[in-house]
Protein backbone atom coordinates (compact mmCIF):
# COMPACT_ATOMS: atom_id res chain seq x y z
CA UNK A 1 0.00 0.00 0.00
CA UNK A 2 1.42 3.36 -0.94
CA UNK A 3 1.23 6.47 1.25
CA UNK A 4 1.01 10.14 0.44
CA UNK A 5 3.67 12.51 1.71
CA UNK A 6 2.78 16.19 1.88
CA UNK A 7 4.97 18.98 3.22
CA UNK A 8 3.44 22.31 2.20
CA UNK A 9 3.97 25.44 4.24
CA UNK A 10 2.22 28.68 3.34
CA UNK A 11 2.59 32.20 4.62
CA UNK A 12 -0.76 34.01 4.72
CA UNK A 13 -1.33 37.71 5.26
CA UNK A 14 -4.42 39.90 5.20
CA UNK A 15 -5.54 43.21 6.54
CA UNK A 16 -8.40 44.82 8.32
CA UNK A 17 -11.03 46.56 6.23
CA UNK A 18 -9.65 49.87 5.02
CA UNK A 19 -6.43 49.10 6.89
CA UNK A 20 -8.10 50.42 10.04
CA UNK A 21 -5.93 49.84 13.15
CA UNK A 22 -8.61 47.76 14.87
CA UNK A 23 -6.53 44.87 16.24
CA UNK A 24 -5.78 46.31 19.65
CA UNK A 25 -3.39 44.70 22.10
CA UNK A 26 -6.28 43.60 24.33
CA UNK A 27 -7.82 41.43 21.58
CA UNK A 28 -4.62 40.25 19.94
CA UNK A 29 -3.89 37.28 22.22
CA UNK A 30 -7.40 35.76 22.15
CA UNK A 31 -7.64 36.49 18.41
CA UNK A 32 -4.40 34.65 17.66
CA UNK A 33 -5.39 31.78 19.97
CA UNK A 34 -8.71 31.41 18.14
CA UNK A 35 -6.94 31.50 14.76
CA UNK A 36 -4.53 28.80 15.93
CA UNK A 37 -7.42 26.66 17.12
CA UNK A 38 -9.26 27.08 13.80
CA UNK A 39 -6.10 26.08 11.93
CA UNK A 40 -5.82 22.92 14.02
CA UNK A 41 -9.52 22.19 13.49
CA UNK A 42 -8.92 22.38 9.73
CA UNK A 43 -5.82 20.13 10.02
CA UNK A 44 -3.46 22.95 9.09
CA UNK A 45 -1.14 23.22 12.07
CA UNK A 46 -0.16 26.82 12.82
CA UNK A 47 3.59 27.40 12.89
CA UNK A 48 3.42 31.12 13.73
CA UNK A 49 0.87 33.92 14.05
CA UNK A 50 1.75 37.58 14.34
CA UNK A 51 0.75 40.99 13.18
CA UNK A 52 0.14 44.62 13.93
CA UNK A 53 -2.98 46.75 14.40
CA UNK A 54 -4.04 46.59 10.74
CA UNK A 55 -3.01 43.14 9.52
CA UNK A 56 -2.10 39.58 10.47
CA UNK A 57 0.42 37.02 9.24
CA UNK A 58 0.03 33.27 9.63
CA UNK A 59 2.49 30.53 8.81
CA UNK A 60 0.71 27.19 8.49
CA UNK A 61 1.40 23.66 7.38
CA UNK A 62 -1.25 23.24 4.70
CA UNK A 63 -3.30 20.05 4.70
CA UNK A 64 -3.75 18.45 1.28
CA UNK A 65 -7.47 18.17 2.06
CA UNK A 66 -8.18 21.90 2.10
CA UNK A 67 -7.81 24.66 -0.46
CA UNK A 68 -5.98 27.82 0.57
CA UNK A 69 -9.07 29.89 -0.22
CA UNK A 70 -11.19 27.72 2.07
CA UNK A 71 -8.64 27.95 4.87
CA UNK A 72 -8.53 31.74 4.63
CA UNK A 73 -12.33 32.02 4.41
CA UNK A 74 -12.76 29.88 7.52
CA UNK A 75 -10.07 31.78 9.44
CA UNK A 76 -11.44 35.18 8.53
CA UNK A 77 -15.02 34.19 9.25
CA UNK A 78 -14.35 32.62 12.63
CA UNK A 79 -12.04 35.41 13.78
CA UNK A 80 -14.37 38.22 12.65
CA UNK A 81 -17.24 36.51 14.45
CA UNK A 82 -15.15 36.22 17.61
CA UNK A 83 -14.19 39.89 17.51
CA UNK A 84 -17.67 41.25 16.75
CA UNK A 85 -19.58 38.94 19.09
CA UNK A 86 -17.26 38.35 22.04
CA UNK A 87 -14.11 40.47 22.13
CA UNK A 88 -15.39 43.91 21.08
CA UNK A 89 -19.14 43.60 20.47
CA UNK A 90 -19.67 47.37 20.50
CA UNK A 91 -17.35 48.06 17.58
CA UNK A 92 -17.55 47.35 13.87
CA UNK A 93 -14.87 44.94 12.66
CA UNK A 94 -14.26 43.53 9.19
CA UNK A 95 -11.38 41.95 7.34
CA UNK A 96 -10.48 43.13 3.85
CA UNK A 97 -11.73 40.99 0.97
CA UNK A 98 -8.35 39.81 -0.35
CA UNK A 99 -5.29 38.16 1.09
CA UNK A 100 -1.72 37.27 0.21
CA UNK A 101 -0.42 33.73 0.12
CA UNK A 102 3.19 32.70 -0.32
CA UNK A 103 4.67 29.24 -0.62
CA UNK A 104 8.13 28.62 0.68
CA UNK A 105 10.95 26.14 0.68
CA UNK A 106 11.27 24.01 3.78
CA UNK A 107 14.64 25.63 4.48
CA UNK A 108 12.97 29.08 4.58
CA UNK A 109 10.44 28.11 7.24
CA UNK A 110 12.53 29.24 10.25
CA UNK A 111 13.24 32.63 8.67
CA UNK A 112 9.61 33.27 7.77
CA UNK A 113 8.46 31.99 11.18
CA UNK A 114 10.72 34.51 12.90
CA UNK A 115 9.49 37.27 10.59
CA UNK A 116 5.85 36.48 11.42
CA UNK A 117 6.48 36.37 15.17
CA UNK A 118 8.47 39.64 15.11
CA UNK A 119 5.92 41.70 13.18
CA UNK A 120 5.71 44.54 15.69
CA UNK A 121 9.48 44.93 15.76
CA UNK A 122 9.76 44.87 11.96
CA UNK A 123 7.10 47.56 11.62
CA UNK A 124 8.53 49.67 14.45
CA UNK A 125 12.05 49.56 13.00
CA UNK A 126 10.93 49.70 9.35
CA UNK A 127 12.65 46.39 8.57
CA UNK A 128 9.67 44.82 6.85
CA UNK A 129 10.03 42.58 3.83
CA UNK A 130 7.86 44.31 1.22
CA UNK A 131 7.23 41.05 -0.63
CA UNK A 132 5.77 39.38 2.48
CA UNK A 133 3.58 42.37 3.27
CA UNK A 134 1.54 42.18 0.05
CA UNK A 135 -2.06 41.43 0.73
CA UNK A 136 -4.31 43.57 -1.37
CA UNK A 137 -5.24 43.88 -5.03
CA UNK A 138 -3.16 47.03 -5.50
CA UNK A 139 0.03 45.23 -4.52
CA UNK A 140 -0.69 41.86 -6.08
CA UNK A 141 -0.60 43.22 -9.63
CA UNK A 142 2.81 44.90 -9.41
Domain boundaries, the chain: 8-134
Closest CA to 102 of 13, 6, 1: 13
pLDDT of residue 139: 43
Task: Report the distance separating Cα 56 and Cα 30, nearest Å.
Answer: 13
Surface-to-core class of residue 69, CB atoms within 10 Å of its CB (0-12 exposed, 13-18 middle, 19+ buried): exposed
Measured distance CA(47)–CA(10) in Å, rounded: 10
Name the average pLDDT for the chain: 88
Residues of the chain predicted below pLDDT 50:
138-142
CA nearest 51: which of 68, 70, 78, 27? 27
* pLDDT tens-digit map of 109-130: 999 999 899 876 755 566 555 5
Q: Which fold has domain 8-134?
A: Alpha-Beta Plaits (3.30.70)
Q: What is the pLDDT of residue 6?
A: 82
- Burial call 104-117: b when 16+ CB within 10 Å, e when fewer: beeeebeebbebbb
Amino acid sequence: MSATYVDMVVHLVWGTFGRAPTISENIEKPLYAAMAEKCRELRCPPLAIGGVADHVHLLVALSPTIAVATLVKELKGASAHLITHRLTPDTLFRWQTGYGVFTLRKSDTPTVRRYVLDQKEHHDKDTICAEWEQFDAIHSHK
